[in-house]
Structure 1
Amino acid sequence: MGSFRGHVLPGTLFLLVGVWHMWSSIVRYVSYPKSFQVRVWNPVTSFDGRLKYLELYLITVGGFIDLCVEFLYSTHLHIIVHGVLNPSHMNNFEHSGMLLMFFIFGVITLLSEKTSFLPLPEGALSLIASTAFTAEYLLFYFHSTTHKGLEGYYHLILVLLIGLCILSIIAGALVPTSFPVDLCSGIAITLQGLWFYQTAFTLYGPMMPDGCLLKGNEITCHSAEQEIHGELLANVQLFGLVLGVLVAVAGAYIYAEPKYGRLNVNNSQIPEDG
C-alpha cells in the first residue's frame, strides 16, 4: 500500500526531468536538425554554464533523498527484525532498491561527464538509464504489496508507462540520431510523473471515484460496477494526460522553431559571409 506523499515525491522528480527532456530535445532539433543526437540527459546552457549538470544533480540528490525517506524514515529505522528484513516494510525496501538504481545512474553519469575516471559513450549511458527503469518495472510488476481492484488497475497503467520509458531509451541507444525517439523518451518520463500525481490524487486524495474509499490499507469499492466505473475513469484520466502532453509538445515546438531555428540559419550563413 502506498501513500499520497510516496507517489508525489517520485512523481515530481520524473515530471521535472521529463519536461526538461522534452523541451531540450525540441530546442536541440530545431537549432541543429542535421546534426541532432539523442541524449540521455540534457545540460543547462544558460547562466554561463554554472547549472550545466543541474539535471544530473536533481536525479542524484533527489533520488538519494527519496531513498532515505523510504529506507530510513518510512521504516522508522526498524530495518532488521529477528535477524531478517522487517516484513512489514518490504514495499519500502523495494522502493529503495528502485531509487538506488536511479541514484547509481546519476553518479555514474556525473563521473563520466565531469571526470576522466569513467568515460562512457552516450549509448552506454542510455543503457544504464534503461536498466534503472527496468528495475522500476520489475519492482511494480512483482510488488510484494498485492495490488488488487482499482489500485491494481492504476499500477498496471504505471507499469505500461514505465515499459514505454524502457523501450524509448533503448531505441535511443540503437538509433542515436532520431528526434522522434528522443522526444518519445521525454514524453514517456513526463507521463510517468503525471501518472504518479494522478494516482496520488485519486487513490489517496480528493479524486476518489464515487462508491470507492480508502479503508485501512486497501482501496475498496461497494460494488463491481463502481470498481469498473473507477477503471473507466482511469482510462479517461490517462487519455487527458496524453492529450495534454501532446498539445504541450506541439505548443513548445511552435514556440521554439522560430526562436531557436534561426540559430541554424545564422550558423549556416557564417561560412558564406566569411
Structure 2
Amino acid sequence: VGRSKLVVGGFSMGGLITRYALARMERDPALPDHETSLYISYDTPHQGAWLPVSLQAFTHFAADHWGEAPVVGEKLRQFSGLLNSPAARQMARWHLEKVGGTVKEAPERAEFLRALEELGGWPRAVRRIGVANGVDTGTGNGLKPDVTAVRANGETLVDTWLKTQAQGDQEVARLQKKGGETIPVTTGGLPDIDGAPGGLFAAPSPQGDPGSFGLVALLARLLGNEVDPDVITTSCFIPAISALAAGDISDPKALYQPITPDNSELDAFVAAGRNEGHTTMTEELGAWIVNEIVAGG
C-alpha cells in the first residue's frame, strides 16, 4: 500500500527463506514485484549451521533405545525428529541421519543450494545487510577442541561421553547402553568448529542446562544417570562467517580469521561485541538495524 518500499528479512533460517523468496520474485515473471528496498538477515546460516555430530548421534541413539519410555521418550522422539526434519537437513552443514550413518551434507541442503543458485544466489534489487551474534575479530568462544563435554553413567548408560569437535580423524563420542555394546562415533575432515566465533547454541531449560551439550546432559539425567559436574553446556551454532556470508565454514582457517567488508557478500553488516546466544537481540545490534532502516527511508 502506498509508495514506500518494504524492509524484509528474518531471524536464523528465516533470513534464508526471505532471501530465496525475494530472489525468486525477481526472477519469476509470474510473481508480483516484491516492492522491497532493504533485506535483513539476523544470525542467518548463509553458509550453514553447526550441530555437533556427537549431539546428533547421542540423540538418535537415545531415541532408538528409550523412545517409548514414559515422559522422556516423547522428548527424545521430538528432538531426534527435529534433527531429521527437512528444515534441519537444509540448514545444517553436516548432518547425521542415524547412529552408524555417514556424516555429510544432506541431499535436501544440496537441493536447496542448487535452487538458490539458479536464482542468482541473492536478490539483486535490494540493499543486503546482516547481523551476526558472533564477533568479526576471529576470536573464538573459548571452547577447546577434543575435550570431554559430557560424561554420564548410571541406570541406563555406561561411560557414555561426548567431545568437542577437533580437526582430522576423531572419536567424538562413545555411546553405551547398560548391558549393551560400546558404539564409537567418529568423524574425519571436519574443522574445530565448536569453539569458533559465532552465535551460540543456547536453549535454556527449567533445569538450568542451556545449550547443545547441556541438552545432552539434561536428557542423560532424565534417563536416570549421573552426569559429571564439569559439563560444557554450549557450542558455536551459527559461525560468524556464515551469518555474514563471508567464507566457507568447512575451512578451519576461515572460521577464525577477522571478517572485513571485502569478505562478505552483504552490502553492510554488524557483528556482536562478544559471542552470544543465537538470535539474541541487543541494544547494540538493534540500534544498528534501526539506523540502517532510517537511513534507507
User: TM-score under structure 2 normalisation?
Assistant: 0.26
Higher RCO (CA-CA < 8 Å; seq separation 6+): 1
Structure with more helix by fraction: 1
Structure with more strand by fraction: 2
User: TM-score under structure 1 normalisation?
Assistant: 0.27
